[in-house]
Structure 1
């Protein structure tokens, strides 16, 4: 499946028993020797009584991720497609948090991503105090970045043009910066106007992806805090468009976007 070009292998572990090792994840994600994907998502029974499902996200390098907005949308459509639920609104566990997913028309899904976290220790980010943006030295440059968590860490840099050829080098430098003990997702934000932005994201454990749902949320939150954006923003990514809403303060971030089923099959591990 994919959500705006961010592609996933979805595996139902409710109707079948399976245990995947990191090397199995890497093989599945390999675009030449496996199926090929940005992340592998597992559908599991819930551990909390208020949840309908639990899902786990693994990056292409085998590491486990904490959150994935595009994956959450695909998750909602997948469990309906596989007849694992009749619900159109469901609550799922993702790491230690709960998310509400709502199926809309034309295979779109709205995800309640929860409230962003700004305290450095919660991100995690090696700074003593919370600020709207921080100074970061990366790839020999001094940058001003917004840093927050949407269930996973994000560092967002405003740029004039997301097609700038230097962004790949900067993305790698920010992603692996020593001030992020668990690495971070590096986003590059181009503000077109108050309701429209362009975005590129270099995800930890994956590299650049065609779309990043949590990255789109983080970019809009940063832009709102800096006074650049309204509370409803269309985020244009390489693979498509996402619609983000955030009222500010402690309110949840709502993300709506497309889902698509590419193909179904089996693999022997």
Structure 2
């Protein structure tokens, strides 16, 4: 079986190509063992997610992407993994566009330059039932705070689903707020029955955001594609930015556009193939 190590803006993946091996499975404990930092498979950095490529379930798709996080449970979306999967399919089949299927949706992808892919992530899900939240509320600002009640360190985040739940806080800097400390507390907040990815966004201009993300089941990562999309959607809804924004993450730069015409979010960013072999 073909095995690859890939990353999207630093978000690192162990990729098993099971398109010709339909019975291939790993399970929670094997996924955790492969992804953990220092594993013999992934080395010191480990993997943020594990991806299994399969034949598509829909006749409209070209390839199916199964996604597992470092904690060993399956998730429905990963923007950076979508770019790497799409790039791999397009390279292998000598095409410049494809459709990647996930458990959540079909994602239209195209080449956008050398080692760069654009993905139509579809419209964001903004109703409280779609994210989901435990209680009914408007999701422009949700009632989640961290710190003293009368003077919270974090408050008024936006909630967005890009196929997975996101809670996005807007911060002035990353010294007062420590994402690696705040992230796990918000991830398991009782308002999020499926846990949450937690974004910490610093708006530097109407067209630029600096972003750090605590991913549920993973921890701090160098990049989070769905997190970048969610941050821009939340920023636009709170009138902090325009609809086309460069999002700087620790691993690189992502271009996010929330189109007004059709409500779709377009994510464009880099892909890197670290190694390719057979297991």
Please confirm whether the aligned pair reaches a TM-score higher than 0.5, indicating the same fold: yes
Q: Deviations over 1:28-55 (max 9, x none)?
A: 1022123121001111111111111111
1:91 touches 1:99 (CA, 8 Å); kept in 2?
A: yes
5 Å-filtered alignment, 1:18-167, equals 18-33=24-39, 34-35=41-42, 36-81=46-91, 83=92, 85-138=93-146, 141=152, 143-164=155-176, 166-167=178-179
TM norm structure 1? 0.93
Distance in structure 1 (CA, Å) of the matches to 2:172 and 2:16 = 40
TM norm structure 2? 0.90
2:180 touches 2:219 (CA, 8 Å); kept in 1?
A: no
5 Å-filtered alignment, 1:227-266, equals 227-248=239-260, 251-266=263-278
Distance in structure 2 (CA, Å) of the matches to 1:249 and 1:101 = 19
Q: Deviations over 1:197-250 (max 9, x none)?
A: 100000001001000000000000011111111121000010100000013486
Give ranges in structure 1 of 5+ residues lacking alignment.
none
Q: Does 1:191 align with 2:196?
A: no
> Number of matched residues?
265
- What's the offset of the Cα at 1:11? 1.1
Give ranges in structure 2 of 5+ residues lacking alignment.
1-5
- Partner residue, 1:4: 9
